Amino acid sequence: MKPLAEIGVFGGSGFYSFLDKVEEVKVDTPYGAPSDTVSIGEVNGRRVAFLPRHGRKHTIPPHKINYRANLWAMKELGVQAIISPCAAGSLQRHVKPGDFVVADQYVDRTHGRADTFYEGPTVHHVSPADPYCPVLRQIAIEEIRAHGIPVHERGTIVVINGPRFSTKAESKWFTSMGWEVINMTQYPEAYLALELAIPVVNISLITDYDSGLVAEGEVKPVTAEEVMHVFHQNAERIRKVIFGMIAKIPPNFESPIRHALDYAKVTV
Protein backbone atom coordinates (compact mmCIF):
# COMPACT_ATOMS: atom_id res chain seq x y z
CA MET A 1 0.00 0.00 0.00
CA LYS A 2 1.36 3.43 -0.94
CA PRO A 3 1.89 5.59 2.19
CA LEU A 4 -1.01 8.00 2.61
CA ALA A 5 0.40 9.87 5.60
CA GLU A 6 3.75 10.53 7.22
CA ILE A 7 2.75 11.78 10.66
CA GLY A 8 -0.09 10.52 12.86
CA VAL A 9 -1.98 12.38 15.57
CA PHE A 10 -4.39 10.93 18.09
CA GLY A 11 -6.88 13.63 18.98
CA GLY A 12 -10.35 15.05 18.48
CA SER A 13 -12.27 17.00 15.88
CA GLY A 14 -10.62 20.24 16.98
CA PHE A 15 -7.53 19.16 15.07
CA TYR A 16 -8.64 17.91 11.68
CA SER A 17 -11.22 20.66 11.20
CA PHE A 18 -8.28 22.96 10.41
CA LEU A 19 -6.89 20.76 7.62
CA ASP A 20 -7.14 21.55 3.93
CA LYS A 21 -8.53 18.98 1.47
CA VAL A 22 -9.44 16.44 4.13
CA GLU A 23 -9.85 12.86 2.96
CA GLU A 24 -11.77 10.42 5.13
CA VAL A 25 -10.22 6.95 5.03
CA LYS A 26 -11.68 3.76 6.47
CA VAL A 27 -8.97 1.31 7.52
CA ASP A 28 -9.62 -2.38 8.14
CA THR A 29 -7.25 -4.10 10.54
CA PRO A 30 -6.71 -7.68 11.81
CA TYR A 31 -7.83 -6.39 15.22
CA GLY A 32 -11.18 -4.97 14.20
CA ALA A 33 -12.28 -1.42 13.52
CA PRO A 34 -10.36 1.63 14.78
CA SER A 35 -12.16 4.23 16.87
CA ASP A 36 -13.29 6.12 13.75
CA THR A 37 -12.40 6.82 10.15
CA VAL A 38 -9.03 8.50 9.73
CA SER A 39 -8.91 12.08 8.46
CA ILE A 40 -5.93 12.71 6.19
CA GLY A 41 -4.86 16.17 5.14
CA GLU A 42 -1.88 18.42 4.64
CA VAL A 43 -0.16 20.58 7.25
CA ASN A 44 2.85 22.68 6.25
CA GLY A 45 3.47 20.42 3.29
CA ARG A 46 3.30 17.20 5.31
CA ARG A 47 0.65 14.50 4.98
CA VAL A 48 -0.96 13.96 8.39
CA ALA A 49 -3.41 11.32 9.65
CA PHE A 50 -5.76 12.32 12.49
CA LEU A 51 -7.67 9.69 14.47
CA PRO A 52 -9.93 10.56 17.45
CA ARG A 53 -9.15 7.82 19.98
CA HIS A 54 -12.56 8.16 21.66
CA GLY A 55 -14.45 8.51 18.36
CA ARG A 56 -15.30 11.93 16.97
CA LYS A 57 -18.30 12.31 19.29
CA HIS A 58 -16.42 10.89 22.31
CA THR A 59 -18.57 7.78 22.52
CA ILE A 60 -15.81 5.29 23.43
CA PRO A 61 -14.64 5.23 27.06
CA PRO A 62 -10.91 4.68 27.67
CA HIS A 63 -11.18 1.03 28.72
CA LYS A 64 -13.15 0.20 25.54
CA ILE A 65 -10.81 1.82 22.99
CA ASN A 66 -9.47 -0.64 20.41
CA TYR A 67 -5.87 0.48 20.84
CA ARG A 68 -4.42 -2.25 18.64
CA ALA A 69 -6.70 -1.34 15.74
CA ASN A 70 -5.87 2.35 16.13
CA LEU A 71 -2.11 1.77 16.04
CA TRP A 72 -2.32 -0.78 13.24
CA ALA A 73 -4.33 1.70 11.18
CA MET A 74 -1.54 4.25 11.56
CA LYS A 75 0.99 1.67 10.44
CA GLU A 76 -1.11 0.70 7.42
CA LEU A 77 -1.29 4.34 6.36
CA GLY A 78 2.51 4.60 6.40
CA VAL A 79 2.83 6.80 9.49
CA GLN A 80 6.44 7.23 10.64
CA ALA A 81 5.86 9.31 13.79
CA ILE A 82 2.96 9.74 16.20
CA ILE A 83 1.98 12.75 18.32
CA SER A 84 -0.23 11.66 21.20
CA PRO A 85 -1.76 14.52 23.21
CA CYS A 86 -4.12 13.72 26.07
CA ALA A 87 -6.06 15.35 28.87
CA ALA A 88 -4.49 14.53 32.23
CA GLY A 89 -4.67 15.29 35.92
CA SER A 90 -1.84 16.60 38.08
CA LEU A 91 -0.48 14.62 41.03
CA GLN A 92 1.93 17.33 42.19
CA ARG A 93 1.25 20.93 43.26
CA HIS A 94 3.93 22.39 41.00
CA VAL A 95 2.25 20.84 37.94
CA LYS A 96 -0.66 23.23 37.51
CA PRO A 97 -3.86 23.14 35.45
CA GLY A 98 -3.06 24.71 32.09
CA ASP A 99 0.53 23.39 32.11
CA PHE A 100 1.79 20.93 29.49
CA VAL A 101 3.89 17.91 30.46
CA VAL A 102 6.07 16.08 27.92
CA ALA A 103 6.09 12.67 29.60
CA ASP A 104 9.18 10.48 29.46
CA GLN A 105 7.85 7.50 31.47
CA TYR A 106 4.57 5.78 32.24
CA VAL A 107 3.30 3.40 34.93
CA ASP A 108 0.61 0.93 33.87
CA ARG A 109 -2.25 0.49 36.36
CA THR A 110 -4.79 -0.75 33.79
CA HIS A 111 -6.24 -4.24 33.50
CA GLY A 112 -7.94 -6.35 30.86
CA ARG A 113 -6.68 -4.39 27.86
CA ALA A 114 -5.29 -6.11 24.78
CA ASP A 115 -1.80 -4.68 24.93
CA THR A 116 0.45 -6.57 22.51
CA PHE A 117 0.62 -7.56 18.85
CA TYR A 118 2.82 -10.55 19.72
CA GLU A 119 0.59 -13.34 21.01
CA GLY A 120 2.57 -16.28 19.57
CA PRO A 121 3.71 -18.54 18.16
CA THR A 122 6.50 -16.04 17.41
CA VAL A 123 7.44 -14.42 20.70
CA HIS A 124 8.83 -10.91 21.16
CA HIS A 125 9.73 -9.16 24.41
CA VAL A 126 9.90 -5.47 23.50
CA SER A 127 11.60 -3.28 26.11
CA PRO A 128 9.73 -0.10 27.04
CA ALA A 129 12.55 1.18 29.28
CA ASP A 130 12.40 4.51 27.42
CA PRO A 131 9.00 4.41 25.74
CA TYR A 132 8.88 7.90 24.22
CA CYS A 133 11.02 9.16 21.35
CA PRO A 134 13.75 11.60 22.50
CA VAL A 135 13.78 13.38 19.14
CA LEU A 136 10.04 14.06 19.17
CA ARG A 137 10.14 14.99 22.86
CA GLN A 138 12.72 17.71 22.24
CA ILE A 139 10.76 19.10 19.31
CA ALA A 140 7.62 19.17 21.49
CA ILE A 141 9.40 20.94 24.36
CA GLU A 142 10.84 23.62 22.08
CA GLU A 143 7.53 24.21 20.33
CA ILE A 144 5.57 24.48 23.59
CA ARG A 145 8.11 26.98 24.91
CA ALA A 146 7.89 28.97 21.68
CA HIS A 147 4.18 29.47 22.34
CA GLY A 148 4.77 30.68 25.90
CA ILE A 149 3.02 27.71 27.50
CA PRO A 150 4.33 26.46 30.88
CA VAL A 151 6.03 23.13 30.13
CA HIS A 152 7.47 20.36 32.28
CA GLU A 153 10.19 18.67 30.25
CA ARG A 154 9.85 15.32 32.00
CA GLY A 155 7.16 13.49 33.88
CA THR A 156 5.84 10.07 34.75
CA ILE A 157 2.25 9.44 33.74
CA VAL A 158 0.37 6.78 35.69
CA VAL A 159 -2.35 5.21 33.56
CA ILE A 160 -5.49 4.01 35.33
CA ASN A 161 -8.19 1.90 33.74
CA GLY A 162 -11.13 4.25 34.00
CA PRO A 163 -13.77 5.22 33.43
CA ARG A 164 -13.81 6.12 37.13
CA PHE A 165 -11.39 8.63 38.64
CA SER A 166 -9.11 7.73 41.55
CA THR A 167 -10.14 7.55 45.17
CA LYS A 168 -8.34 9.97 47.49
CA ALA A 169 -6.33 7.07 48.90
CA GLU A 170 -5.20 5.92 45.45
CA SER A 171 -4.35 9.42 44.37
CA LYS A 172 -2.32 10.12 47.53
CA TRP A 173 -0.38 6.91 46.85
CA PHE A 174 0.41 7.99 43.27
CA THR A 175 1.53 11.38 44.56
CA SER A 176 3.72 9.81 47.24
CA MET A 177 5.48 7.78 44.55
CA GLY A 178 6.59 11.01 42.93
CA TRP A 179 4.61 10.55 39.72
CA GLU A 180 3.48 13.78 38.08
CA VAL A 181 0.52 12.97 35.83
CA ILE A 182 -2.52 10.70 35.73
CA ASN A 183 -4.45 9.64 32.61
CA MET A 184 -6.53 6.76 31.21
CA THR A 185 -5.27 6.25 27.64
CA GLN A 186 -1.47 6.33 27.35
CA TYR A 187 -1.23 2.61 28.02
CA PRO A 188 -1.26 0.55 25.87
CA GLU A 189 -1.30 3.25 23.17
CA ALA A 190 2.34 4.28 23.63
CA TYR A 191 3.55 0.72 24.09
CA LEU A 192 1.82 -0.55 20.96
CA ALA A 193 3.52 2.19 18.96
CA LEU A 194 6.80 0.86 20.33
CA GLU A 195 5.93 -2.68 19.24
CA LEU A 196 5.44 -1.32 15.72
CA ALA A 197 8.72 0.63 15.97
CA ILE A 198 6.90 3.93 15.39
CA PRO A 199 8.38 6.85 17.37
CA VAL A 200 5.75 8.42 19.62
CA VAL A 201 5.57 11.48 21.89
CA ASN A 202 3.03 12.33 24.57
CA ILE A 203 1.93 15.83 25.50
CA SER A 204 -0.20 15.80 28.65
CA LEU A 205 -2.61 18.75 28.93
CA ILE A 206 -3.15 19.29 32.64
CA THR A 207 -6.83 19.91 33.27
CA ASP A 208 -7.11 19.50 37.05
CA TYR A 209 -5.53 18.39 40.30
CA ASP A 210 -6.28 14.76 41.08
CA SER A 211 -8.33 13.86 44.15
CA GLY A 212 -5.44 13.11 46.52
CA LEU A 213 -4.75 16.80 46.95
CA VAL A 214 -8.40 17.20 47.94
CA ALA A 215 -7.67 15.39 51.18
CA GLU A 216 -5.62 18.37 52.33
CA GLY A 217 -8.45 20.76 51.55
CA GLU A 218 -6.63 22.75 48.88
CA VAL A 219 -8.60 21.95 45.74
CA LYS A 220 -12.05 20.77 44.73
CA PRO A 221 -12.63 17.13 43.73
CA VAL A 222 -12.13 16.50 40.03
CA THR A 223 -15.24 16.25 37.83
CA ALA A 224 -15.65 15.27 34.19
CA GLU A 225 -17.29 18.66 33.53
CA GLU A 226 -14.25 20.58 34.78
CA VAL A 227 -11.83 18.32 32.90
CA MET A 228 -13.61 18.96 29.59
CA HIS A 229 -13.93 22.70 30.29
CA VAL A 230 -10.17 23.13 30.73
CA PHE A 231 -9.43 20.72 27.87
CA HIS A 232 -11.47 22.84 25.46
CA GLN A 233 -9.65 25.95 26.69
CA ASN A 234 -6.40 24.18 25.78
CA ALA A 235 -7.61 22.98 22.37
CA GLU A 236 -6.36 25.99 20.41
CA ARG A 237 -3.00 25.98 22.21
CA ILE A 238 -2.32 22.30 21.57
CA ARG A 239 -3.43 22.67 17.95
CA LYS A 240 -0.82 25.38 17.40
CA VAL A 241 1.84 23.29 19.11
CA ILE A 242 1.06 20.20 17.05
CA PHE A 243 0.96 22.10 13.77
CA GLY A 244 4.29 23.71 14.64
CA MET A 245 5.78 20.33 15.48
CA ILE A 246 4.62 18.83 12.20
CA ALA A 247 6.61 21.44 10.30
CA LYS A 248 9.76 20.67 12.31
CA ILE A 249 9.77 16.85 12.40
CA PRO A 250 12.58 15.80 10.03
CA PRO A 251 11.62 13.34 7.29
CA ASN A 252 12.91 9.83 8.00
CA PHE A 253 14.63 10.96 11.21
CA GLU A 254 16.64 8.46 13.24
CA SER A 255 15.20 7.38 16.60
CA PRO A 256 16.00 4.56 19.03
CA ILE A 257 12.32 3.61 18.82
CA ARG A 258 12.87 2.45 15.23
CA HIS A 259 15.18 -0.25 16.61
CA ALA A 260 12.78 -1.51 19.31
CA LEU A 261 12.43 -4.90 17.60
CA ASP A 262 16.11 -5.45 16.80
CA TYR A 263 16.74 -7.77 19.76
CA ALA A 264 13.20 -8.49 20.91
CA LYS A 265 12.47 -11.74 19.08
CA VAL A 266 12.98 -14.97 21.03
CA THR A 267 14.95 -17.54 19.06
CA VAL A 268 15.86 -21.07 20.17
CA proximity to 33, closest of 79, 3, 66, 77: 66
Residue 208 falls in the annotated catalytic set = yes
Considering 99, 104, 130, 210, which one is annotated as catalytic?
A: 210
CA proximity to 42, closest of 84, 14, 5: 5
Question: What's the rounded Cα separation, in Å, for the pair 213 and 143?
Answer: 30
Burial group, residue 158, by CB count within 10 angstroms (0-12, 13-18, 19+): buried
- The CA distances from residue 113 to 176, 191, 197, 243, 251, in Å, are 26, 12, 20, 31, 33
Residue 262 falls in the annotated catalytic set = no
Considering 28, 99, 104, 208, which one is annotated as catalytic?
A: 208
44: left (phi over 0), alpha (psi -120 to 50) or beta: left
Active site residues: 208, 210
